[in-house]
């Protein structure tokens, strides 16, 4: 599955994938504009083609340009990446991961967000999780 192979990508490939995930879709010019110390236009175009060949991206033609999109559903990739982070950095403990997020100094939850999290916790309890 491509989302599992995301961990096997090189640094620049990961940067490109991060741009496409963040923007939802991106042209070569869009990717170049978001990359630190961007390589040439043709290099970025080549890397996007390679990522497409590897199954990470797909493209659509919009006018005269190609726009690249994630090949897999972003929700599936997000879930896989989050599971990897929780397992790797938080000892496979969702509790520790959530606590770390809530303890971040710049985290400010609205009343609505707190209510939503409370509902998720209540639902998890009811389901025995």
Query: Rounded to an integer, what distance in angstroms lies between the CA atom of residue 113 and that of residue 15?
Result: 30
Q: Is the pLDDT of residue 21 over 90?
A: yes
Q: Could you tell me the sign of the dihedral formed by the alpha carbons of 66, 72, 76, 79, in that order?
A: negative
Domain residue extents for the chain: 2-70, 90-126
Residue-wise pLDDT for 24-44, tens only, equals 999 999 999 999 999 999 999
Q: Which of the two residues, 61 and 101, has the higher pLDDT score?
A: 61
Q: Is the pLDDT of residue 109 over 90?
A: no
Identify the three-state secondary structure at position 65.
strand
pTM > 0.75: yes or no: no
Between the two ends of the chain, the Cα-to-Cα distance in Å is 27
Q: What topology does CATH give the domain 2-70?
A: Arc Repressor Mutant, subunit A (1.10.10)
């Amino acid at each position: 599955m491509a989302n599992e192979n995301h961990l096997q990508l090189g640094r620049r490939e990961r940067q490109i994938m991060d741009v496409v995930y963040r923007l939802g879709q991106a042209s070569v010019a869009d990717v170049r504009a978001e990359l630190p110390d961007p390589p040439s236009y043709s290099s970025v175009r080549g890397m996007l083609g390679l990522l497409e060949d590897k199954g990470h991206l797909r493209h659509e033609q919009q006018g005269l340009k190609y726009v690249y999109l994630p090949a897999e559903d972003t929700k599936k990739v997000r879930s896989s990446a989050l599971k990897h982070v929780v397992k790797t950095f938080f000892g496979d403990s969702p509790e520790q991961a959530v606590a770390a997020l809530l303890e971040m100094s710049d985290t400010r939850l609205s009343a609505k967000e707190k209510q939503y999290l409370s509902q998720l916790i209540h639902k998890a309890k009811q389901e025995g999780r």
